[in-house]
């Protein structure tokens, strides 16, 4: 506690104070390895999760358990949330016993959930008068990147807060970019998910057509990788599609959720996004067919069944 | 004429005979620089085009003019067609005074037009009994690649014919792949055009959303290039979209034509291609709006107007 408080003072002063205590809420596939990397980088860690298992795992490594988000916030200089979706963020931050009930002036909230840009801006506004800095900092790179500490982190918020957060973010990510003000990280992630899902749709339809036309799809993939059709998706997901290996990776149900955020964001800012809407529908149908736990490249398998 | 005939004999024997005479029909944006590279590589060249200008340009460089496709075929060991669309290929090959009327046994026809796989298979079948080898060999790489001789060439046909054609193809292209039997080159090109157009749609919708949401789209582009959303389209066309520089490049009207071939091919082999169909419709609307002469990255401008 003493250490955490003096850490908070150092941060609030803008001086190079003691190492801040970091609280992490949400210890799932992404949050647990991210928290481990924060701990391994030397930051005192406080952990909270709905189920107790991953908290115990972190306590065994030297972390402190917190019984609720508000207790965690009271013990932390930097509170990080890594949750499934926007409503979870709303509940954990502003719900009963939420972060808002315990967070201290001069501290910081970093939401690393892939959530809606509108919510990110709303939360930043909400905490502005309470002297709590807020960053939205969704990630890409999947479980592999979370474990290796090589995530891409897309940050929205103030430059000052970003600089204060950077040492902690650097424990989790390799490419860390401040894209703009509040919500800009989430807009960037939404854009990322649009491009990823739509590219998967293109690669799926192309390889499926080649197969059905009796042309070796691996040769097609190789030929296309040499030209304008080149993409990381054609390389990696194209390879999975040809191997019919749909173990995630990134689950289709989450891809659908992220596309929903993207489509809603486009609509909110009156930006035409017909392809996004179509591919969102395709992933909706795929999930309805019981394929939501498969990797997002399983769109190819879904289209094959639909043919 | 003597030289051409002995060249044909050498090819027909499968021995390393004299240099074959190459005839090129269709001297447009792509065909003219391709023909120049064939000539520069040391192949005797016969040229035919509907308008006389580009023929004269080649004659000035040492080529022979032919007044019609059948005359050209009679003078050539390898006949190359580089035409706008499938109906043009049909007319030039099997129409009045067409290639079929003049082509000699033991020679070869290489169609480098982006045309339908069904037509490619039909033409290969048509010439099979006449001892004329046929390759479908559409290209990608655009005018730049045609001028520099660095096109990607996707070839369908027999291995023997491919090996005979390789020295001539190598004068025009850098990456040359025999993908499969008759029509496989066109199937590969159709797959390429699907992926290219759909990726442009994804990049356009994502960058447009970022802009409208008040986030610097160049920062978004940079952030996305570091992750799974990376593609050559995001890099090159994304750059054009942000610069609003829609000088072709590759014209939207041609992108639409190629997508039509892709959608028809998918339909013919009963392969589900909903995203291809949607993006085909978008390019159709774009062309209807008078934007067909702009680069295919102008889909972003079309979507912006439609927002």
pLDDT digits (tens, 9 = 90+) for B221-251: 999 998 899 999 999 999 999 999 999 989 9
Which of B117, B206, B272 shows the shortest C-beta gap to A306?
A: B272
For A24-56, the pLDDT digits (tens) are: 999 999 999 999 999 999 999 999 999 999 999
The residue to which tokens 């892939």 are assigned: A114
d(CA A274, CA A251): 23
The answer, yes or no, to whether residue A148 has pLDDT greater than 50, is: yes
Subunit contact A278:B274, Cβ cutoff 8 A:
yes
Three-state SS string over A154-173 comes to EEECCHHHHHHHHHHHHCCE
Quick one: tokens of A233? 């998706």
Expressed in angstroms, the distance from the first to the final Cα of chain A is: 61
CB contact under 8 A, B229 and A196: yes
- Under 8 Å CB pairs connecting chains A and B tally to 270
Is some CB atom of chain A closer than 8 A to the CB atom of B222?
yes
> Nearest Cβ partner of B202 from A117, A195, A232?
A195
- What's residue B16's pLDDT? 55
Say if CB B48 and CB B25 are below 8 A apart.
yes
H/E stretch holding A36: helix A31-40
Domain A188-306: CATH architecture, name and number where available: Orthogonal Bundle (1.10)
Task: For residue range A225-258, list pLDDT tens digits in order.
Answer: 988 999 999 999 999 999 999 999 899 999 999 9
Of A141, A198, A265, the CB nearest to B202: A198
Domain ranges of chain B: 2-180, 188-306
The closest CB to that of A206, out of B191, B201, B215, belongs to B191
Interface of A with B in 55-84 (CB under 8 A): none
The answer to whether B227 contacts A192, with C-beta atoms less than 8 Å apart, is yes
> How do residues B108-167 score in pLDDT, each as one tens digit?
999 999 999 999 999 999 999 999 999 999 999 888 899 999 999 999 999 999 999 999
Residue B219 has a pLDDT of 96
How sure is the predictor about A138, in pLDDT bands with cuts at 50, 70 and 90? very high
A201 contacts in chain B (CB < 8 Å): 198, 275
Contact B209 A191 (CB under 8 A): yes
**Cα A111 to Cα A73: distance, rounded to the nearest angstrom:** 13
**A2-180 adopts what CATH topology?**
Rossmann fold (3.40.50)
Task: Report, as an integer, the average pLDDT of A117-146.
Answer: 96
Give the B window 151-170 contacts with A, CB below 8 Å.
152, 154
* B275–A282 CB contact, under 8 Å: yes
Spell B218-247 as b/e; 16+ CB within 10 A means b. ebbbbbbebbbbbbbbbeebbebbbeeebe
- Average pLDDT in chain A: 94
| CB within 8 Å: A196 and B228 | yes
* Three-state DSSP state, A38: helix
Averaged over successive runs of 10 residues, the pLDDT of chain B (307 residues) comes to 36 61 97 98 98 97 98 98 97 98 98 98 96 97 93 97 98 96 98 98 98 97 93 97 95 97 98 98 98 98 94
Minimum CA–CA partner of A187 in chain B = B210
Q: Which residues of B touch A187 (CB under 8 A)?
A: 209-210, 213, 215, 220
**What local confidence, expressed as pLDDT, does residue A3 receive?**
36
**B228 and chain A: CB distance < 8 Å anywhere?**
yes
Closest CA in chain A for residue B205: A273
Residues 6 or more apart from B30 whose CB is under 8 A from it?
B82, B112, B139, B143, B146
| Secondary structure percentages of chain A, helix, strand, coil, to 5 | 55, 15, 30
Residues B232, A232: C-beta atoms closer than 8 Å: no
A208 part of contact set with chain B, CB < 8 Å? yes
Q: Which of A140, A198, A202 sits opposite B227 (nearest CB)?
A: A140
Prediction ipTM score:
0.92
Contact B145, A228 (CB under 8 A): no
**d(C-alpha A298, C-alpha A232), whole Å:** 16
Write down the pLDDT at residue B17. Answer: 67
Average pLDDT over residues A166-181: 97
B272 to A175: CB separation less than 8 angstroms, yes or no: no
Q: Does B266 touch chain A (CB under 8 A)?
A: yes
Is A267 in the B-facing interface, judged by CB distances under 8 Å? Answer: no
- Give the model's pLDDT for residue B307: 83
Nearest CB to A271; choose among B209, B266, B273: B209
Give catalytic residues of B, as residue numbers: 189
| Cβ contact, residue pair A272, B304, below 8 Å | yes
Q: Taking a contact as any Cβ pair under 8 Å apart, which residues of chain B between 245 and 264 contact chain A?
A: 262
Hey, of A187, A202, A211, A264, which one would you mutate to test binding to chain B, going by the most B CBs within 10 A of its CB? A202
């Amino acid at each position: 506690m003493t250490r955490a408080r003096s850490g908070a003072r150092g941060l609030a002063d803008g001086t190079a104070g003691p190492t801040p205590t970091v609280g992490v809420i949400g210890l799932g596939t992404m949050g647990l390895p991210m928290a481990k990397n924060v701990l391994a980088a030397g930051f005192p860690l406080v952990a909270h999760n709905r189920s107790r298992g991953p908290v115990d795992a972190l306590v065994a490594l030297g972390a402190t358990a917190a019984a609720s988000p508000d207790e965690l916030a009271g013990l932390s200089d930097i509170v990080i949330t890594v949750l499934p979706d926007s409503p979870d963020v709303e509940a954990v931050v502003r719900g009963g016993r939420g972060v808002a009930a315990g967070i201290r002036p001069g501290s910081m909230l970093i939401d690393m959930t892939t959530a809606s840009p509108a919510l990110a801006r709303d939360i930043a506004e909400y905490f502005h008068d309470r002297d709590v800095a807020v960053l939205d900092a969704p990630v890409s790179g999947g479980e592999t990147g979370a474990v290796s500490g090589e995530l891409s982190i897309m940050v929205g918020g103030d430059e000052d807060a970003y600089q204060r957060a950077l040492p902690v973010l650097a424990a989790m990510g390799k490419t860390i970019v401040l894209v703009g003000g509040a919500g800009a990280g989430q807009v960037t992630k939404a854009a990322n998910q649009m491009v990823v899902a739509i590219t998967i749709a293109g690669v799926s339809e192309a390889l499926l057509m080649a197969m059905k036309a009796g042309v070796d799809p691996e040769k097609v993939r190789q030929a296309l990788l040499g030209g304008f059709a080149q993409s990381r998706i054609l390389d990696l997901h194209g390879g999975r599609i040809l191997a019919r290996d749909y173990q995630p990776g990134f689950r289709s149900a989450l891809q659908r959720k992220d596309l929903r955020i993207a489509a809603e964001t486009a609509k909110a800012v009156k930006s035409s996004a017909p392809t996004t809407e179509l591919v969102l529908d395709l992933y909706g149908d795929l999930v309805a067919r019981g394929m939501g736990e498969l990797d997002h490249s399983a769109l190819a398998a879904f289209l094959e069944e639909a043919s």
